[in-house]
């Protein structure tokens, strides 16, 4: 199982050093990494103040051994026929890996509800010669930071990306496009970084040092996925 930030081995955590973030977002053909295909990948490199330094985006031809639901296509506003002309997964994997390492070293993984994306990515790297992921963990999850910084007193109906963006007055046009979702996520991160810690939470006022947690009820991971992910991330930590 991918570990919570606080559960990563102390040795690896103490050696964590990064000077940039790699924000990643996926649009997928369903909710289950072992069953559904990745349809779109976007990545943005930022500095530690969330200033964009470069971005990447590609659609993917659905993997021949994985599924795509009609509901997922409608939510992501994608058409099956159009995706047939997109690059194959192996081509996109190589391009993404190259982009992620343009700074010459790994950045810290960041995103919105990172658990979901990391599980799909872990299996994707595994399908292609077990490529070591080109990013560092523990990850920076803007979703869990928003929940910690804003809390129930914010009046938000939920902490979905579009809801939090609306709260900060951020344009939500293009939601459910991976790259536009990342731009929204980064703008939210900038807003959260300026906010003081909530008095009723043990949270740092600095977004970089805030403690993030993944609630157990959100870890709906099948046993097979857990074993694969454990092996993948054990290899990354070892490196």
| Residue 59 in tokens | 């659609």
Comparing 195 with 205, the larger pLDDT belongs to: 195
Exposed / middle / buried, residue 19 (Cβ in 10 Å: 0-12, 13-18, 19+): exposed
pLDDT of residue 237: 29
pLDDT in tens, 89-98: 999 999 999 9
What are the contacts of 168-177 at 24+ separation with CB within 8 A?
Answer: 176/27, 176/75, 176/76, 176/77, 177/27, 177/40, 177/42, 177/76, 177/77
More confident residue, 99 or 18: 99
Domains of the chain in start order, with CATH, are 19-229 (3.30.420.10)
């Amino acid at each position: 199982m991918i570990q919570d930030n606080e559960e990563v081995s102390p040795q690896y955590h103490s050696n964590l050093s990064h000077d940039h973030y790699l924000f990643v977002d996926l649009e997928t053909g369903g909710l289950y990494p072992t069953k559904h295909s990745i349809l779109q990948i976007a990545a943005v490199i930022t500095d530690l103040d969330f200033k964009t330094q470069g971005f990447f985006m590609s659609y993917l031809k659905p993997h021949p051994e994985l599924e795509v639901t009609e509901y997922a296509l409608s939510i992501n506003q994608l058409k099956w026929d159009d995706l047939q002309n997109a690059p194959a997964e192996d081509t996109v994997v190589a391009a993404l890996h190259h982009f992620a390492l343009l700074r010459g070293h790994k950045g810290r993984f960041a995103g919105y509800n990172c658990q979901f994306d990391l599980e799909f990515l872990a299996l994707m790297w595994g399908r292609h010669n077990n490529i070591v992921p080109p990013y560092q963990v523990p990850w920076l999850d803007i979703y869990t930071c928003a929940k910690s910084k804003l809390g129930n007193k914010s009046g938000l109906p939920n902490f979905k990306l579009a809801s939090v963006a609306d709260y900060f007055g951020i344009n939500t046009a293009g939601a459910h496009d991976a790259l536009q979702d990342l731009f929204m996520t980064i703008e939210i991160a900038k807003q959260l970084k300026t906010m003081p810690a909530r008095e009723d939470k043990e949270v740092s006022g600095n977004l970089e040092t805030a403690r993030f947690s993944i609630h157990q009820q959100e870890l709906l991971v099948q046993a097979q996925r857990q074993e694969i992910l454990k092996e993948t991330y054990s290899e990354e930590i070892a490196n």
